[in-house]
């Protein structure tokens, strides 16, 4: 059994000058409200405001960062209680799952998941020892007791975490009923949806035809042609905006953009309805729809987020057994300068439009993304994302883009998480890493400590509120 407290100077440079500056900068931002403009927390937990079922379902089941590592060590997802979609059985005993997780907690040493979990146990639940085989049952029981107390209800934690606004990610077909419940409950917590149309714009999706039927049902029309489809998408965007949405979100394999003539878009759409679309159709239609979504954003004001560069569901066996978002997505190399040229030449000079671009390909930070965002008024760089959301990943991001794009063509930080209680942990890491990066600039006399303090607050709060119109 090892008792521990988190070190107050964690993640800061060992050089005493940098470390002291970092501490001073961090002290000015550590208690600022959390702005979470892009994430995947289920709004249902706030609509119902019920105790979390048990520690296993709170920490393990929703967090693909966590079970991805365990799976890599040969631990079956079934044994971690991850539900199968193919009818196979998964472990149902939460204590047994927790014990297995605790026995392998050491696997997360040195990883961002380990850093986040340490914070959650130590700072949120006041557990001053790391899980292992000897304490697994005791920690489980302590956590279970706490999450069944009023102090750990979802809305109470939301307020304790000092979250000013939390954006969820919702498919364009979502009725947003949970958001309606939250809005009419009288609770003051601000939770807003985001418009994700991928299931309707990716014609390779096996459920695309069925999804078009659902889109028609939601908008009270029979969608038989491309014009009906575009009108229905525009209507759904307006509904999301009415419900508080500030952004759309587009997960694409590549950032290829191309405007098709109307008749070509109609031909591809018709082939897709007949389920005869070709791979070339898929690529062109996705590129065309990015252009259409940008045009709609110039009309309705939704901030456009583009998340390219991921080979999703790489492990086909795992995908067939467990479905989407089970930790088997792999980054791929991406190209932006040519792929985005048509979109940026059409819309990138529009100062009333905001396009936030993310990448999983760190090799393009300084070569392509920083120069692009350092030029086009509409383009901003999203933060280090997904696999790069880590101490070193955030540091590399700042090192690679700042000299070309500055701080003010970036948009702060977002946590992009399904694991609600990890939100303050992730934001604390980002604030500490940014404070440390700024401290290095101060120590080298590139900026003053006063300038660093202003920039730190802007990175934490001002830029994200401005970019997402919050």
Q: What is the DSSP string of 51-102?
A: PPS-HHHHHTTT-HHHHHHHHHTT--GGGGTPPPSSS------HHHHHHHHH
Structure tokens at 209: 């035809």
Q: 141 Cβ partners below 8 Å, 6+ apart?
A: none
Query: What pLDDT does 4 receive?
Result: 79
Query: What pLDDT does 262 receive?
Result: 97
406/440 same-domain check:
yes
What CATH number is given to the structural domain containing 264? 3.20.20.140
Query: What pLDDT does 356 receive?
Result: 98
198/218 same-domain check:
yes
Query: What pLDDT does 2 receive?
Result: 61
Q: Write down which residue in 105, 134, 152 finishes a domain.
A: 152
Is residue 1 situated within a structural domain?
A: no
What CATH number is given to the structural domain containing 126? 1.10.2020.10
Mean pLDDT of the chain: 97
Is residue 8 situated within a structural domain?
A: no
Q: Write down which residue in 106, 123, 152 finishes a domain.
A: 152
- Give the C-alpha distances (Å, rounded to integers) separating 222 from 163, 198, 215, 231, 404: 41, 20, 9, 11, 49
**Which tens digits make up the pLDDT trace of 337-359?**
999 999 999 999 999 999 999 99
277/423 same-domain check:
yes
Q: Write down which residue in 118, 133, 152 finishes a domain.
A: 152
By residue count, the chain amounts to 470
Query: What pLDDT does 94 receive?
Result: 97
Place of tokens 């040493």: 109
Residue 34 is part of which domain span? 16-48+161-467
Query: What pLDDT does 3 receive?
Result: 64
Give the Cα separation of 232 and 214 in Å (integer).
11
pLDDT below 50 — which residues of the chain?
none
Is residue 3 situated within a structural domain?
A: no
Give how many domains the chain has, as a whole number.
2
206/353 same-domain check:
yes
Is residue 405 situated within a structural domain?
A: yes
Is residue 376 situated within a structural domain?
A: yes
Structure tokens at 464: 């994200």
Give the Cα separation of 55 and 17 in Å (integer).
41
Is residue 391 situated within a structural domain?
A: yes
262/310 same-domain check:
yes
Structure tokens at 266: 């109609």
299/352 same-domain check:
yes
Is residue 10 situated within a structural domain?
A: no
**Which tens digits make up the pLDDT trace of 415-449?**
999 999 999 999 999 999 999 999 999 999 999 99
133/148 same-domain check:
yes
61/177 same-domain check:
no
393 backbone dihedrals φ, ψ, rounded to 5°: -65, -45
229/330 same-domain check:
yes
Strand stretches in 172-320, DSSP E: 191-192, 195-196, 247-252, 303-308, 310-311
Ordered DSSP codes for 141-189 = HHHHHHHTSGGGSHHHHHHHTTEEEEE--EETT---HHHHHHHHS----
147/249 same-domain check:
no
Question: Would you say 278 and 267 are in contact if contact means Cβ atoms under 8 Å apart?
Answer: no
Is residue 144 situated within a structural domain?
A: yes
188/324 same-domain check:
yes
427/335 same-domain check:
yes
């Amino acid at each position: 059994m090892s008792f521990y407290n988190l070190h107050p100077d964690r993640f800061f440079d060992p050089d005493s000058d940098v470390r002291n500056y970092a501490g001073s900068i961090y002290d000015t931002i550590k208690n600022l409200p959390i702005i979470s403009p892009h994430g995947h927390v289920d709004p249902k937990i706030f609509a119902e405001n019920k105790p979390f079922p048990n520690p296993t379902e709170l920490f393990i089941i929703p967090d693909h960062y966590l079970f991805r590592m365990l799976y890599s060590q040969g631990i079956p997802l079934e044994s971690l209680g991850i539900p199968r979609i193919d009818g196979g059985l998964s472990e149902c005993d939460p204590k047994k799952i927790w014990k297995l997780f605790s026995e392998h907690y050491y696997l997360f040493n040195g990883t961002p998941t380990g850093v986040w979990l340490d914070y959650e146990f130590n700072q949120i639940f006041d557990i001053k020892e790391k899980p292992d085989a000897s304490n697994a049952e005791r920690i489980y029981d302590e956590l279970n007791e706490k999450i069944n107390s009023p102090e750990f209800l979802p809305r109470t934690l939301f307020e304790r975490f000092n979250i000013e606004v939390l954006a969820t990610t919702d498919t364009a077909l979502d009725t947003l009923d949970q958001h309606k419940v939250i809005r009419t409950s009288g609770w003051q917590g601000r939770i807003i949806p985001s418009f994700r149309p991928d299931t309707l714009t990716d014609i390779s999706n096996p459920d695309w035809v069925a999804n078009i039927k659902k889109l028609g049902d939601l908008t009270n029309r029979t969608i038989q042609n491309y014009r009906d489809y575009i009108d229905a998408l525009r209507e759904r965007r307006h509904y999301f905006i009415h419900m508080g949405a500030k952004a759309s979100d587009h997960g694409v394999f590549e950032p290829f953009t191309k405007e098709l003539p109307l008749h070509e878009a109609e031909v591809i759409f018709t082939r897709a309805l007949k389920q005869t679309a070709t791979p070339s159709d898929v690529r062109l239609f996705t590129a065309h729809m990015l252009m259409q979504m940008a045009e709609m954003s110039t009309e309705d004001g939704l901030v456009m987020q583009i998340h390219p560069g991921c080979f999703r569901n790489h492990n086909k066996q795992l995908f067939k057994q467990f479905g989407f978002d089970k930790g088997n997505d792999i980054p791929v190399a991406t190209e932006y300068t040519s792929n985005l040229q048509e979109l940026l030449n059409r819309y990138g000079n529009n100062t009333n439009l905001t396009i936030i671009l993310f990448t999983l390909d760190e090799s393009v930070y300084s070569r392509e993304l920083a120069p692009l965002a350092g030029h086009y008024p509409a383009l901003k760089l999203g933060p280090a994302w997904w696999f790069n959301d880590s101490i070193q990943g955030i540091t590399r991001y700042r090192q690679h883009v700042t000299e070309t794009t500055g701080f003010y063509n970036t948009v702060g930080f977002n946590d992009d998480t399904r694991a609600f209680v990890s939100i303050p942990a992730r934001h604390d890491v980002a604030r500490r890493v940014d404070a440390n990066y700024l401290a290095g600039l101060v120590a080298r006399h590139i900026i003053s400590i006063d300038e660093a303090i202003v920039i730190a607050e802007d990175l934490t709060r001002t830029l994200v509120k401005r970019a997402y119109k919050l």
